Amino acid sequence: MIKLINIELYKIFKKWRTYIGFIAIAILIPMIEFAISFEGTRSLNFVTREIQQTFIFVGNLLNTYFVSYLILNSLAIHIPFLITLVAGDLLAGEATAGTYRILITRPISRFEIVTSKFIAGMIYTFLLILWLAVISLGLGYFLFGTGELIVLKSGSIIVLAKNDIFWRFLLAYGFALLSMGVVASLAFLFSSLVENAIGPIITTMAIIIIFLIISAINIDIFQSIKPYLFTSYMNTWSSFFDNPIDTTEIIKSVSILAAHIIVFFGFTLFIFRQKDILT
């Protein structure tokens, strides 16, 4: 199995589309951070303007944590796209290339094929999130240094002590990995159904965008279905920046997202094991 995962990773990282995500992050994040650095504290003031009337602020709130938090907050659509680009190709790509025939005629089970590809896809997702974390926090540290993190949440302003932040980021990125894992496994599921990678990429993105739009529109009927949309739980990463942390909410979101991954993967496995390979 490890051999298979290695092979799948090798295949993933020999395709140039894999690097689109890494390159996009390597361009996008520095652009955002340089822009913030150019703007200076103005980009922070929209958060703090109101309280600055009552309080005097001293210290470095415009720091790598603030910037990384901002970035994590604004990439809800972009990162899923980069994930589907690879995850949607995992199975469909073999169909398009016709390489299912040389792969499935080997003495390996379809379970092993699906699972190794899934794990390889998850590793890619992990590396992309890690890359995002390293670039945002690393470049942010270089440009802005560290400091306390100011967060706006549930009508509260939360300031987290400098030494109380990093672990929250680790967990938040971990949670982001789980969210993106759902995206990846959905794209993977669609990838098992068709013979072309474009379909899974577009379908997955369409679902995410539709779900996000439904969640955003303040109509009762939409709001009542919101709890049934997995995208509603993808923002829970920000709960790690609450003080105190709402563990119940996080456990709920983690379980729901993990259940989605299991169900999507289960479906993929079920479909793929029955699938007649005609390409």
Partner 1 sequence: MEQNKIIEIKNLSKQFKDVKAVDDLNLNVYKGDVFGFLGPNGAGKSTTIRMLLSLISPDNGEIKIFDKSLKENRIEILSKIGAIVEKPDFYGYLSAYKNLEILGKISGREISSKKIMEVLELVSLEKRYKSKVKTFSHGMKQRLGIAQALIHDPELIILDEPTTGLDPQGMKEIRDLIIYLSKEKNKTIFLSSHILYEVELVANRMIIINKGSAKVEGRVEDLLNANKLRVAVEVDNSEKVKMLLSTTRWNENLETVANNKMIFNLPQNEVAELNKYLVENGILVNALIPTRSLEDYFLTITQKASG
Partner 2 sequence: MKFFTFLLLPFIIFAQSNNPDVIIRNLKNEFNKVKDYSVDVNIKVDVSFLKVPEMNAKIYFKQPDKIHIQSEGFAMLPRDGLYTSPLSFLKNDYTAIYVRDEIIDGSNASVIKIIPLNDKGDLVLTTMWIDQKRNVILKVESTTKTNGTFTMDLNYGDNKYPLPSSMLFVFNAERSKLTQFDRNDENSKKKKPQMISGKVYISYSNYVVNKGLPDSLFEQKGKNNSNISSDVH
- Among positions 87-146, residues that touch partner 2 (CB under 8 A) are 145
Smallest separation, CB 62 to partner 2 (Å): 8
Assess 164 for contact with partner 2 (CB under 8 A): yes
**Contact code string over 13-52 relative to partner 1, x by CB under 8 A:** -xx-------------------------------------
Q: Rounded to an integer, what distance in angstroms lies between the CA atom of residue 189 and that of residue 269? A: 8
106 makes contact, choosing from partner 2, partner 1, none, with CB < 5 to 8 Å by partner type, with partner 1
Smallest separation, CB 11 to partner 1 (Å): 6
Lookup: tokens for 181: 């894992």
Smallest separation, CB 120 to partner 1 (Å): 13
Angle separating helix axes 166-193 and 64-74, nearest 10 degrees: 20
Assess 154 for contact with partner 2 (CB under 8 A): yes
Q: Which of 161, 182, 151 is nearest to 259 (CA)?
A: 182
Assess 38 for contact with partner 2 (CB under 8 A): no
Smallest separation, CB 95 to partner 2 (Å): 40
| Element holding 153 (H helix, E strand) | strand 149-153
Buried b (16+ CB within 10 A) or exposed e, 252-276: ebbebbeebbeebbebbbeebeebe
Q: Rounded to an integer, what distance in angstroms lies between the CA atom of residue 251 and that of residue 236? A: 10
- Among positions 100-129, residues that touch partner 1 (CB under 8 A) are 100-109
Q: Is the peptide bond before 80 cis (omega within 30 degrees of 0)?
A: no
Smallest separation, CB 100 to partner 1 (Å): 7
- Judged by CB, which is closer to partner 1: 8, or 148? 8
Assess 276 for contact with partner 1 (CB under 8 A): yes
Out of 56, 219, 221, 278, point to the residue binding partner 2 (CB under 8 A): 56
Buried b (16+ CB within 10 A) or exposed e, 174-186: ebbbbbbbbbbbb
Lookup: tokens for 94: 């073999």
Angle separating helix axes 110-144 and 247-274, nearest 10 degrees: 140
- Judged by CB, which is closer to partner 2: 127, or 212? 212
Positions that interact with partner 2 (CB under 8 A): 46-47, 50-51, 53-62, 145, 147-148, 150, 152-162, 164, 243
Positions that interact with partner 1 (CB under 8 A): 3-4, 7, 10-11, 14-15, 97-109, 274, 276-278
